[in-house]
A and B are shown apart, each in its own frame.
Chain A
Amino acid sequence: GAGVSQSPSNKVTEKGKDVELRCDPISGHTALYWYRQRLGQGLEFLIYFQGNSAPDKSGLPSDRFSAERTGESVSTLTIQRTQQEDSAVYLCASSLQGTNTEAFFGQGTRLTVV
């Protein structure tokens, strides 16, 4: 596709339910990132995939959060047993391999836990 695509764009879920967020990166982009943005705040790094290397999971806030990526394609971010503090916009980005290449962001998934 022309850009990074995220789905769903909005998700309302009940506390305690699991949710799965999807990211389709730009074709050919080997790097993929997930960030969380709470209302009116900056970006919080969650996880980073680069090709077939082990992902950098250092930003995941708890073991309820996990992410997978198949090769250099789609990624899914899963949040288990959602809590109200998980409510945020989850942003995915991708970039080409190589140093200092800019990241291209999707529109985000707005997650609301009620």
Chain B
Amino acid sequence: AQSVAQPEDQVNVAEGNPLTVKCTYSVSGNPYLFWYVQYPNRGLQFLLKYITGDNLVKGSYGFEAEFNKSQTSFHLKKPSALVSDSALYFCAVPLDNYGQNFVFGPGTRLSVLP
């Protein structure tokens, strides 16, 4: 079964420092991986996805993610964190090879401290 894990419930980082939010996956077939962000009292917003090609994927708001097949990881990164990046981050993978339904990780709460 397709699944994703987010090993950290909470990540704290100082403003201006680089941030990483971790995601590992377990899929059969080609991995298609997504990151979403949820700001307080808001719905989820799509950040970026990996389908194929370059292992480094760039997305919205200066975020990027690195696909690592050998480590089955898809960590979300940003070179310099902003206080406004504080939110809940979800990694997701399609439930099946048709890619039309998703299973989400439990979420990681990122707090960027001024």
Which residues of A are in contact with B by a Cβ distance under 8 Å? 4, 31, 33, 35, 41-43, 45, 48, 50, 56, 91, 93, 95, 97-108
Contact = CB atoms under 8 A, between A and B. Distances in A.
A109 B32 CA distance: 29
A103 B102 CA distance: 9
A78 B27 CA distance: 33
B44 A42 contact: no
A97 B97 CA distance: 13
Contacts of A93: 43-44
Interface string B17-37: 000000000000000101010
B98 interface: yes
Interface string B46-66: 100101000000000000000
Contacts of B94: 99-100
A104 B44 CA distance: 8
Interface residues of B, number: 23
Given A102-B46, A103-B46, A107-B42, A42 B101 contact: no
Contacts of A33: 101-102
A102 B34 contact: yes
A104 to B, nearest CB: 7
Contacts of B104: 35, 42-43
A12 to B, nearest CB: 16
Contact of B105 (A42, A45, A106): A42
A99 B43 contact: no
A42 to B, nearest CB: 4
